Chain A
Amino acid sequence: MTAIPLLDIRDLTVEFATRRGTVQAVRQVDVSVARGETVGIVGESGSGKSVTSYAVMRILDRAGRIAGGEVSFSGIDLRAAGERQMRDLRGREISMIFQNPRAALNPIRKVGHQIEDVLRQHAEAGSGDAKEKAIAALEQVKIARPEERYHAYPFELSGGMCQRVVIALALACRPQLLIADEPTTGLDVTTQKAVMDLVTALTAERGMSTVLITHDLGLAAAYCDRIVVMEQGRVVETAPATTIFRAPSHAYTRKLMQATPRPGVTLRDLLPAGAPAAPAARAEAAGAPLLTVSGLTKEYPRAKAGLLKRKAAAAEAPFRAVDALSFSVNRGESVGLVGESGCGKSTTSTMVMRLLDPSAGSIVFSGEDISRVPAARFARHALRPKIQMVFQDPTESLNPRWTAARAIADPLLRFRTVKGGDAIRARCEELARLVGLPVELLDRFPHQLSGGQKARVGIARAIAPSPDLVILDEPTAALDVSVQAVVLNLLADLKQALGMSYLFVSHDLQVVRMLCDRVIVMRAGRIVEEGPTEAVLEAPQAEYTRALLAAIPHPPV
């Protein structure tokens, strides 16, 4: 590392003017990127990792400004560069790709024209060869039939395909540095692997440098040479990827690393050392069947467009979101329902929850076929308290006008399990203690609570009526990894203590492995593979399961 770095950030401080005064989002940050090197910037939400990259590109929004430090690229002082000079650098020397690729493209302009815009701006193409070069750029990111895709609009392409277009756009002018800001967040794990492999291949082939910004330490470790860990606007550690997992030096890195789900660890391993002792070994799933689902099917009519096409549409077969699904959950067991987006796992859980009526099939719960009770009337059913749910987004699942206590008390009031104001309050406090929510927070409104606290309120509400089955719908997907570790452990402890069964809906096989006894892998509304978690993960039978497992980024251990 004797050569001059390509990008050198020293002592960078970025301030934002807010209604509450000036906030420092990035404080005295040092990052350097050598030619051909891939550097990962890792941190949880609010760590300032994205703001750092926007500052480098000088595309901070109006309220933000660089308050101190130096940024130099190839010897050019980016802080002092004029807007015209910056514009020539952006896209030609430094490019960027973003999270949520579909939103990152102009929705009403053909993708080919968007690539041409960049090529022409940087005089890489004239009006004669622009189209040809744009198609070549699409071809390089391995888009099939690039001549056709040139004319496509973003809404006609899948999320993964859009991200390829964004990459093509970023690499069209052969820049020296690529900044990738959470490039795969929101994409399915197999798509994530394909996108990351593509970026790695293209940048290596051109000898480019890359900055990968991510919240996923595993992803960063798998693809980067060096990792910079950020916390609350500061860099806390910089180390080679190969050593950071083995010997993290900073306490925060250790915590972050430890909280990241990875092969060969238990839930308890995710928590910092010194956490309460591990509970007894997982109870063997020996109970009688609690839930038996057979032949469960949900069909939707295909969307019809326009009056004139109605006839044609009616002839088409309806879309089957869930196709003759059968499985069971035993008492005291937790079963994982895994699949990528659109596989029908959420539709399945909503039907089991009795919020949606199935098109066919039965749902036998506690010996009664509850699929016969229409969803609209199930609210009054005696088994209603026995099936509860923890929702994906803790914020959205709480009524903004209710305090935490009111939210937790709602099932108690409706099911009349506890009567009288004092008794209900006492039970709320008991539940709060059970889920580790400080009792003094009970009188706060959702907007006054943190994400983790809201998740706890949601869990307390779900267990309040002493359910037999709790459906967990991606309960940690919206949470930072360290909060996720705590919530997952809480869920495991509660199951142990209260003897409930879980149906755990998730896209994350690593998390499922730690929490579930059995796993069901779904694809396109059907079960692909089913079995004890360890068996399925160690020796997957189905091709699809193998692909899913292979796509999980493996940090060098």
Chain B
Amino acid sequence: MSATGSPALAPAPARSGISATLAHAVAVVSGNPVTGFAFALLLGLVACAILGPSLVPYDPLASDTSVALQAPTLAHPFGTDQLGRDILSRVVVAARLDLTIAVASVALVFVAGGLAGIMAGFFGGWTDRIVGRLADTIMAFPLFVLAMGIVAALGNTVTNIVLATAIINFPLYARLARAEAAQRRNAGFVMAARLTGNTDLRIVLTSILPNILPIMMVQMSLTMGYAILNAAGLSFIGLGVRPPTPEWGIMVAEGASFIVSGEWWIALFPGLALMLAVFCFNLIGDGLRDIVDPQRRT
């Protein structure tokens, strides 16, 4: 793949690093069908999240007991639940809430954890100690259990789910950014930047940040899946989102009691949607890693 990516770089070296990266990205995606598939899947998910309510055949909240607990039919391709609500409509509409929670929490921790980590790695000293202690304290808890405790304490709302998910991911981001920044802190090009009169802030912005960003992006994609799972897990045990709001985790929970009597479709379809979304972000993360990996970018 890099064989097709690099010749584009070699004869006419691009002036901007961004277009070169983009060209490389296109080469990787077109050369790797799995990553291409993942991106197509992502587009589908995003479409559901944005257009969901106008796409679906039924009102996701409208119950109709005359069609309760129906197995998948042409009218209801994913079947109906105990209140006769259309599961397809509910699954599609739920994409918006699930993705919003994941994106919001990951964006939050990306900024907070990334900044804290870079500062800790670059400046060392007490900044490093404070950030390190904070990360260690969070890591001392089993992460999902801590998220449970936080949501239970702060109150059972979607905002708190976002916050809890961001907090438990903080050590991951802070440690990664710290390690990457610390590794470059005494690199030749950072020393050279000091010699040419750059201030610390400028060095962070021009020499550290651009070189760390790609790795952080990979991390972001990989934790996006984890964030979705975490939020769904919390709502599965009754935290955060409440019925009748359509959300994948809670829909699986609603279907759980029907599994033993054979009504598999209530839990299956939201569960599959959940799995597919997480799978998609993990594949993209792996694909991004290939783009970023310097060994494949000769």
Residues on A facing B (Cβ under 8 Å): 19-21, 353, 355, 376, 379-380, 384-385, 387-389, 391-393, 396-401, 403, 407, 410-411, 414-415, 443-445, 447-448, 458, 461-462, 464-465
Residues of B1-24 whose CB lies within 8 A of A? 1-3, 9-10, 13, 15, 17, 20
Instruction: Determine whether B187 belongs to the interface, using a CB cutoff of 8 Å to chain A.
Output: yes
Residues on B facing A (Cβ under 8 Å): 1-3, 9-10, 13, 15, 17, 20, 187-189, 191-200, 206-207, 210-211, 294, 296-298
A387 to B189, CA, bound (A): 16
Minimal beta-carbon separation of A156 from chain B (angstroms) = 26
> Could you tell me if A410 and B3 are in contact, using CB atoms closer than 8 angstroms?
no
Contact of B195 among A384, A399, A443, A444 (CB under 8 A): A384
A88 to B207, CA, bound (A): 53
Minimal beta-carbon separation of A551 from chain B (angstroms) = 29
With a CB–CB cut-off of 8 A, which chain A residues contact B189?
396-400, 407
> Could you tell me if A399 and B3 are in contact, using CB atoms closer than 8 angstroms?
no
Contact of B17 among A353, A391, A401, A458 (CB under 8 A): A401
> Could you tell me if B13 and A19 are in contact, using CB atoms closer than 8 angstroms?
no
Contact of B196 among A353, A400, A411, A445 (CB under 8 A): A411
With a CB–CB cut-off of 8 A, which chain A residues contact B13?
403, 443-445, 448
Known: A379-B197, A401-B210, A445-B13. 17 other contacts (CB 8 A): A353-B195, A379-B194, A380-B199, A387-B195, A397-B188, A397-B192, A398-B188, A399-B207, A400-B189, A400-B211, A403-B13, A403-B15, A407-B192, A443-B13, A444-B13, A445-B17, A445-B20
A486 to B198, CA, bound (A): 31
Minimal beta-carbon separation of B80 from chain A (angstroms) = 52
A212 to B60, CA, bound (A): 77
With a CB–CB cut-off of 8 A, which chain B residues contact A447?
294, 297-298
Minimal beta-carbon separation of A379 from chain B (angstroms) = 5
Residue in B13, B187, B195, B200 whose Cβ sees the most chain A Cβ within 10 Å: B195
Contact of A399 among B10, B20, B211, B294 (CB under 8 A): B211
A414 to B198, CA, bound (A): 7
Residue of A nearest to B9 (CB): A448
> Could you tell me if B188 and A396 are in contact, using CB atoms closer than 8 angstroms?
yes
With a CB–CB cut-off of 8 A, which chain B residues contact A20?
3
> Could you tell me if B197 and A389 are in contact, using CB atoms closer than 8 angstroms?
no
> Could you tell me if B196 and A410 are in contact, using CB atoms closer than 8 angstroms?
yes
Instruction: State the 3 A-B residue pairs at the shortest beta-carbon distance, nearest first.
Output: A397-B188, A411-B196, A414-B197
> Could you tell me if A393 and B188 are in contact, using CB atoms closer than 8 angstroms?
yes
> Could you tell me if A391 and B2 are in contact, using CB atoms closer than 8 angstroms?
no
With a CB–CB cut-off of 8 A, which chain B residues contact A399?
189, 193, 206-207, 211
CB pairs A–B below 8 angstroms (15 shown): A19-B1, A20-B3, A353-B195, A355-B194, A379-B194, A379-B198, A388-B195, A393-B188, A410-B196, A443-B15, A444-B13, A445-B13, A458-B192, A461-B196, A464-B196
A444 to B298, CA, bound (A): 13
With a CB–CB cut-off of 8 A, which chain A residues contact B15?
403, 443
A443 to B10, CA, bound (A): 11
With a CB–CB cut-off of 8 A, which chain A residues contact B1?
19
With a CB–CB cut-off of 8 A, which chain A residues contact B9?
448
A252 to B193, CA, bound (A): 38
Minimal beta-carbon separation of A408 from chain B (angstroms) = 10
Minimal beta-carbon separation of B297 from chain A (angstroms) = 7
> Could you tell me if A19 and B2 are in contact, using CB atoms closer than 8 angstroms?
yes
> Could you tell me if B192 and A461 are in contact, using CB atoms closer than 8 angstroms?
yes
> Could you tell me if B197 and A384 are in contact, using CB atoms closer than 8 angstroms?
yes
> Could you tell me if B206 and A415 are in contact, using CB atoms closer than 8 angstroms?
no
Contact of A414 among B196, B200, B210, B294 (CB under 8 A): B196
Given contacts A398-B188, A403-B15, contact A415 B199 (CB under 8 A): no
Residue of A nearest to B15 (CB): A443
A398 to B199, CA, bound (A): 17
Residue in A20, A355, A396, A398 whose Cβ sees the most chain B Cβ within 10 Å: A396
Residue in B15, B187, B192 whose Cβ sees the most chain A Cβ within 10 Å: B192
Residue of B nearest to A392 (CB): B188
With a CB–CB cut-off of 8 A, which chain B residues contact A385?
197
With a CB–CB cut-off of 8 A, which chain B residues contact A448?
9-10, 13
> Could you tell me if A415 and B195 are in contact, using CB atoms closer than 8 angstroms?
no
With a CB–CB cut-off of 8 A, which chain B residues contact A407?
189, 192
A391 to B191, CA, bound (A): 9
> Could you tell me if A389 and B193 are in contact, using CB atoms closer than 8 angstroms?
no
A462 to B9, CA, bound (A): 27
A221 to B263, CA, bound (A): 83
A353 to B194, CA, bound (A): 10
A396 to B193, CA, bound (A): 12
Residue of B nearest to A461 (CB): B192
With a CB–CB cut-off of 8 A, which chain B residues contact A414?
196-198
Given contacts A379-B199, A380-B199, A401-B17, contact A410 B191 (CB under 8 A): no
With a CB–CB cut-off of 8 A, which chain A residues contact B187?
396-397
With a CB–CB cut-off of 8 A, which chain A residues contact B197?
379-380, 384-385, 411, 414-415
Residue of B nearest to A399 (CB): B189
A385 to B196, CA, bound (A): 7
A392 to B189, CA, bound (A): 11
Minimal beta-carbon separation of B93 from chain A (angstroms) = 42
Minimal beta-carbon separation of A329 from chain B (angstroms) = 17
With a CB–CB cut-off of 8 A, which chain B residues contact A443?
13, 15
Minimal beta-carbon separation of A377 from chain B (angstroms) = 10
Given contacts A380-B197, A444-B13, A448-B10, contact A389 B192 (CB under 8 A): yes
A396 to B199, CA, bound (A): 20
With a CB–CB cut-off of 8 A, which chain B residues contact A445?
13, 17, 20
Minimal beta-carbon separation of B217 from chain A (angstroms) = 14
A24 to B79, CA, bound (A): 61
With a CB–CB cut-off of 8 A, which chain B residues contact A400?
189, 211, 294
